[in-house]
Structure 1
Amino acid sequence: MNSNNSGGSLRAGVAKSDITTSQEGALINDPLYAKALVLDDGTNKVVIIAMDALAIGVIGDIKEDFLPKLRSRIEQELQIPGCHVLVNASHTHPPGRLLCDDDEQVDRTFDAVRRALQNMTEVKVGSGVGYEDRIMINRNLTLKNGKHWSIRYANPCPPDEEVAAVGPTDPDIGVIRIDRMDGQPFAVLYNFACHPLIGVPQRAVTANYPGFASKVIEETLGNDAMALFLQGAAGDVIEVLFKDVNRSRDSEPIGTMLGISTLNAIRDIETKDAKLSIISETIMLPRRTDIPQRIEALLEEQTRLLESLRTTCLNIKTFLPLYIKYALNPEYPSDYSYRYLQAEKIGDDALTTLDTENRNNLNKYLENIHTMERLTRIQENIVTLNFHKAMNDKADNAMMPAEVIGIKIGDCVLISAPAEVLVEVGLNVKKASPYKHTFMAAYSNGFLDYAPPVAQYDKGGYEVVECHLGPEWQQLYEEKADEIIRKL
């Protein structure tokens, strides 16, 4: 559906509802919200909802009927077209159930939209870009053989000597500033590609660092201004401290960093009158068909690695102290240097022979450890691929619908994707846009799981293993996103 602009001043309303679980025994660190922003320029009404949730349907606490139920109520009771509603998930990861019961999710989210619509005020809008590159890393490490190895809890990291490079991230913070007519801050939409995984101590329920960032922004701006976080193309982005074993897992410090970086951008944005335009279209994306071949290739690699395991006289009890001893003093590992000098002087090679034998055993054990680590990763990938093969086998259609929404707010464009889009695709869409400020709201209005670029399908990264989409999806999506952006 495409609606053009004509006449009227831009008005906006915001409201939020607490959607945190009330499950008995749940440990709550900070509340989760559904935050609603309603925009109306006299011709178009747009609803943007930012939810502290894993995804909009399929996985996590939000079921697939949530979005149609919510849109139906908004359309019937508030007279706003359902296709003018964008719902974005922050992708905060749960230790258990995060959200309230299914029906309450719809009721409370709708109530936030209803209250936002009841409290509309004239506003001015501006957009800008902040910068934050300290908190995240691309989790797909490029190995020297050209393959990818993903940083995950489910498998160890690769040996350091095999890592050649790290992949791209998107450090831009897309910011839409909304002010009251007197210049006082009213709301901030900020868009950033991150992957909220660290959580908080005791694995409590949390909105993760986007929640902490929003709190910093709101408390600093005052005036009851609301900060709405929109997740970006973050499928292969992860916290740089994700595997840190030397400090407790706490996302509040990096949330504070993100909030401050967003505030730095906000203060430089000038606001002015703005118009709205919105386009919503649905395209069909293909399911992947290569899963059986991927499983077969992994099984072959698994067999080869099992056959490469070698006998060793060491176990972990004997390996560890021996390894430390030879690492501490590679030249004289077995005793003081004078023992070696004296042995050399009298022609005694017992120490050097012992060292040679120990080094050979250490190398064999280390090779077996590295093989075990590879086998762990392969087995996890085989299990995942078999799971997705079963899902695809049950599907009654080789294609999957994907809604793409474009929203133009003044000089800024938001483009959505109903998937866990990888950062390269997000960067492609932004680069191709004719607008200075184009922000991708991935994880919006559905969830098709990971959406990796076609060039990564043969590299073995986790996102490709976990992916339902055939590689043709990228061109179909990028072309549609570009078409929508240019029509706005």
Structure 2
Amino acid sequence: MNEKKRIFLWISFLIMLIQSGICFAAQAPYGTLQAGAGETLIQIPPEFFPAQGFDGIHDPLYVKTLLLDNGVNKTAVVSIDMTSLGNVNQLKSIIQKTAGIQPDNIFIYAAHNFSSPHVFPGMTENAAENKKTAMFASALAKAVEAATQKAVTGMQPASIGYGTGISNVNINRDELTAGGWWHGSNETGYSDKELSVMKIDSLSGKPLAIFMNYSVQSSIMDESVSNQGKKLISTDLAGAATKYVEDQYKEDGTVAFFGVGAAGDQAPIFMANRYMTDNKGVSIRTDIHDDGYILLGLIGERLGYDAIKVSRKIIDKQTSVDLSVIHDSVVCKSQKMPMSKTADMKPVKQYTYQIDGEVKVPIDIMKIGNIALVGIQPELASKIGADIKKGSPVKNTMVLTMVNGAAKYMADKDSYDKFTYEARNSKYAKGSAELVENKIISMLTQLNSRSKASE
């Protein structure tokens, strides 16, 4: 074949492609976003009580699953109404089996409501208590499977959008008392008031899921007891806020999620069992018992209402998105934890931190179009979370803690100098949070550059 004929054939081939509407350079590597959301009650059997200090249930706990599929990749974000998670791998296996999603593509996190049981194998030497813990773990596993199956069944073409607003339901809990820095309500301390909302709609405009991210501990009823002296299970602020949202969209069957942000030093603005300082600066704790549920309802309503306001303003929505997850870690210096929690439950003016080797901190980031979900196990200080969002090159960034495991507090540098509760009750040495912040921004920069290169 001579050169002229070869060129003629190539030109003819290209013309045929153009006439057929095929353009490889412009073809998206992914199709229309598919999404599904499901939630299921954790069925705690009556014989579980009393256990782990709990005598009954005030309001039930839930598992909520959000599945995303862009035709190339599948991811899951799973919320569990618990203080922390100790059986992450087991739960990820259930999700993988039910939804066909690889464990590395699953974000599973605790909503961090303090009024809920733990699942830590062999957490006590009491055989009866361990049996009850296993009973709760079984109920949890069934709920994870059921919620995920509902999400699978509900998969449909969807759009996704993002917005932010302000909510004034958190307050810095580190307050200077006569004995040193301790729990309290510090209005002059730093609080990130930004409320981030990710909204997933069906193509007809029906809201399938509303995901809110905010820096506050779900602890309005923490350590509070009823008028009869009973301690009750509750979803607390996370549950009250998401319930308010779901009630507003009851006809649509919308599933609302609460993702706890950088809330290590952030308490709800009002608490039932709260610390206050007297006229001498001495910290005193007081409980209002059953009246605390009035606070819970009002503050939850406010946070949920603010989330709905944000979601209503979301106009820019994507139906074809990049969907990817990256993982990395950073090595930080570690410090010894207090030998006894009760011995350290007081404010101090002096404290000696003991460096004890190194500890690896895993970091997971999920990118959904122009939205980045940063997942980390430790409870970050609010300022660190805000700085990550400000430094992120991804237009819309959420910082989620308690993701894929729990690792207690990771305070900012200033907290170590003040000897705050978070700094003393941490396995991470001073400067760890700032190292993690820099690593996260570096990962976001790489992820953003890679996404632009593939466009």
Match of 1:52 in 2: 81
CA distance in 1, matches of 2:200, 2:118: 33
Aligned to 2:49: 24
Q: 1:71 aligns with which of 92, 98, 107?
A: 92
CA deviation profile, 1:131-185 (whole Å, cap 9, x unmatched): 111x2210112579xx961226xxxx9xxxxx9x721111111101111111111
Which residues of 2 match residues 470-481 of structure 1 at below 5 A?
470-481=429-440
Q: 1:262 to 1:143 in 2, by over 3 A?
A: same
The residue correspondences of 1:6-405 to structure 2 (distance < 5 A) are 6-19=29-42, 21-22=44-45, 23-25=48-50, 26-57=55-86, 66-76=87-97, 78-94=99-115, 101-133=136-168, 135-141=169-175, 149-151=181-183, 166-199=188-221, 202=226, 203-222=231-250, 223-242=252-271, 243=274, 245=286, 248-250=291-293, 251-270=296-315, 271-289=317-335, 376-378=346-348, 398-405=357-364
The 3-state SS of whatever aligns with 1:109 is: helix
* Distance across 2 between alignment mates of 1:442 and 1:139: 18
Label 1:413 to 1:105 Cα distance change in 2 as closer, same or farther (>3 A): same
C-alpha distance after superposition, 1:370-404 (max 9, x if no partner): xxxx995349x98xx9xx98xx98xxxx3333321
Alignment partner, residue 358 of structure 1: none
Deviation at 1:41, TM superposition (A): 0.5
Q: Of residues 428, 432, 435 in structure 2, which corresponds to 1:469?
A: 428
SS of corresponding position for 2:417: coil
Q: Which amino acid aligns with 1:178?
A: I
C-alpha separation in 1, matches of 2:220 and 2:412: 26
Deviations 1:11-46 (A, max 9, x none): 001111222532235421111111000000101111
Q: How many angstroms apart in 2 are the aligned matches of 1:183 and 1:273?
A: 12
DSSP-derived class of the 1:141 partner? strand
Residue-by-residue CA offset, 1:230-272 (whole Å, 9 max, x unaligned): 1100000012223375953221110011111111111111233
TM-score of the pair, normalised by structure 1: 0.70
Q: Deviations over 1:347-373 (max 9, x none)?
A: xxxxxxxxxxxxxxxxxxxxxxxxxxx
Higher RCO (CA < 8 A, seq sep 6+): 1
Q: Could you list the runs of 5+ residues in structure 2 that have no partner in the other structure? A: 1-27, 120-132, 277-285, 449-455
Deviation by residue 1:168-218 (Cα, 9 ceiling, x = unmatched): 111111101111111111111111111122227624211001111111111
| Per-residue deviation, 1:107 | 3.3
CA spacing shift, 1:230–1:289, aligned 2, 3 Å = closer
Secondary structure in structure 2 of the residue aligned to 1:249:
helix
Structure 2: how far apart are the matches of 1:452 and 1:110?
Answer: 35
Q: 1:105 & 1:462 partners in 2: Cα distance?
A: 31
Query: How far is 1:407 from its partner?
Result: 1.6
State the TM-score, normalized to the length of structure 2: 0.74
Contact 1:209/1:256 (<8 A) preserved: no
CA distance in 2, matches of 1:413, 1:286: 24
Q: Is the contact between residue 142 and residue 167 of structure 1 (CA under 8 Å) also seen in structure 2?
A: no
- Are the equivalent residues in 2 in contact too, given 1:274–1:409 (CA < 8 A)? no
| Structure-2 separation of matches of 1:76 and 1:192 | 31
Match of 1:417 in 2: 376
Q: Whose radius of gyration is greater, 1 or 2?
A: 1
Aligned length: 374
Contact 1:286 1:400 in 2 (8 A): yes
